[in-house]
Amino acid sequence: MSAIPTIDGKRVYENYDSESDVLAGPWDAIVIGSGMGGMSCAASLAHYGWKVLVLEQHYVAGGFTHSFARKGFVWDAGVHAIGEMREQDVPGKMLRWLTGGKVEMVSLGDPYDRFSFFDGFDWGLPESRARYVAQLKEAFPEQDAALERYLAAVHEASQAALLFFAMKSFPEGVEGAGRKVLDTLFGAKLLKGEKSPFDWWELTTSEVLDACGVEGKLRTVLTLHWGYYGSTPNESAFPIHALTHSHFWNGAYYPKGGSKEFAAQLLNIVNQAGGRTLVKASVRNILVEQGRAVGVVMEDGTRVRAPVVVSAAGAKTTLKRLAPKSLRESDYAKEILALPDSPPYICLNIGFQGDIRAAGAASSNRWFFETWDNEDRLWDL
C-alpha cells in the first residue's frame, strides 16, 4: 500500500517551482500549511468556488495525516482514533461534506480503547455512553453520587465549550458582549447549570474532580484519556477534558485506506475548484500592505499575492516566523507566545510478520500503565 496521497494513481500535489506560471494565479486565497486545519479550510473555500493555493514546506502534503513506508510496512504519523463519525454526528457530517463523502470511517471495535495496569486491572471503553456509565457504577458503587456529579459537570462543560468556541469565531467586541449576556442570563437563573459557560475555563480537571468528590482509582479511570489532548489533570482546562469524553461517547473510528486518505480527498476537492497544492514550498513571511495581508514571500524571495491569506502553521509559528514585526511585538503575540507547549512523545513503529490477529491483536488501542497516578513523572523522559 502506498503512503502517498493520490487519486487514480496521481499525486494531489506538486513540487514548488519559483519559475512556474502557477504562482501568478490569480488566487482567491493562500493557505499556509497542509495539516488537517489547512486542508479543511482550503476544501471549504473550494466548495464555494474559490481558487486556493496551499503552500506546504514538507515534501508530502497532509501534516499529521501523513503516512510513511519502511521496508514494505506503512504507518501513520498522527491519526489513530477519531470520534463522532456516525451518520447523525456533526463532525461526521462535516467530514462527508468536506470530502464529498469519499473518506470511509471504520469503527475500531468494541471496546475501542483498552487500558491495562501493572496490578492486573483492565479497563475497556465501550462504543456506548450508557454501557460506559454502567461499567463505572459496577466497578465503583461506593462513589455513585460523586460519579453522577462528575457526569453532570462533563455534560455542562462540554456544551459550554462548544458555545465558547462559537463565540471565539466572532469579532472581539461581539465576543465580549456575548459573554456579558450569558453571565446575565445565568445570574437571572435563565440558564441552567452550575456555572456560567465561560467560567468553566477557569477550572482544571483536578479541581472539578475534587469538587465532585471523586476519589481513588476512579479519578484515574475518569482521566485515562488525557493522552489524547496532552495535558495531565492538574494542568488541563476541564472543558477540553469534557469535550474529549463526549467526542468518544459512541466509539472511535479510523479512515479506510489509512490517514493519507484525508489529504487525498481534501486536496482533490481543492484541485477540482482550480486550486493547487505545492510542497517544498517554504514561506518566509506574510506580505502585509497598509495593515492587510495581501500575499506571502517565499523563502527564495518570490512573492505570491492573494486577497486572503490563512496561516494554518500554528499560532506560535505564525507569530514567530511569518507575522510582521508590529504584530510579533503586540500584547496578543506576547500572550500567545507565553503559553507552554504540550508534552511531546516518542513513538516506536513496529512491523510484524504473519497474522497478528490470530495472536490476539485487535484494531482497538491498547494503553499500558505502570502507575495509578496520572501526574506521575514516568511521562517525563
Per-residue pLDDT, 381: 53
Question: If you ran DSSP here, which 8-state letter would residue 5 be given?
Answer: -
Amino acid at 342: S
Beta bridge partners of 296: 286, 304
Of 2.40.110.10, 3.50.50.60, 1.20.1050.10, 3.90.1150.10, the CATH number of 6-70+257-337 is 3.50.50.60
Burial 176-200 (b: 16+ CB within 10 A, else e): eebbeebeeebeeeeeebebbbbbb
Placement of cell 455513585 in the chain: 144
Per-residue pLDDT, 218: 97
pLDDT greater at residue 190 or residue 307: 307
Residue 87 has pLDDT above 70, yes or no: yes
Q: Mind giving me the DSSP string for 141-206?
A: GGGHHHHHHHHHHHHHHHHHHHHHHHHHTS-HHHHHHHHHHHHHHHHTT-S-SSS-GGGGGG-BHH
Tell me the mean pLDDT in the region 234-242. 94
Q: Mind giving me the DSSP string for 234-303?
A: TTSBHHHHHHHHHHTTT--EEETT-THHHHHHHHHHHHHTT-EEEES--EEEEEEETTEEEEEEETTS-E
Per-residue pLDDT, 341: 83
In which band, very low, low, confident or very high, does the pLDDT at 192 lie, cut at 50, 70 and 90? low
* Distance between CA atoms of residues 369 and 225, nearest Å: 12
**Strands 73-76 and 67-70, how do they pair?**
antiparallel
In which band, very low, low, confident or very high, does the pLDDT at 231 lie, cut at 50, 70 and 90? confident
Question: Which of 103-117, 129-143, 332-346 is least confident?
Answer: 332-346
Share of the chain above pLDDT 90, in %: 70
Per-residue pLDDT, 176: 76
- Please check whether residue 374 is in contact with residue 233, taking contact to mean a CB–CB distance below 8 angstroms: yes
Give the chain's mean pLDDT: 91
Domain ranges of the chain: 6-70+257-337, 108-253+343-379
The pTM (predicted TM-score) of the whole model is 0.90
| Cβ atoms < 10 Å from Cβ of 312 | 22
Q: To the nearest 10°, the Cα dihedral for 261, 264, 266, 271?
A: -170
Closest CA to 81 of 34, 45, 113, 129: 113
Residue 360 has pLDDT above 80, yes or no: yes
Residue-wise pLDDT tens digits, 48-84: 999 999 999 999 999 999 999 998 899 998 898 999 9
Question: If you ran DSSP here, which 8-state letter would residue 337 be given?
Answer: H
Tell me the mean pLDDT in the region 155-165. 88
User: HSE of 62 in the Cβ direction (CA atoms, 13 Å)?
Assistant: 27
Residue-wise pLDDT tens digits, 250-295: 999 999 999 999 999 999 999 999 999 999 999 999 999 998 999 9
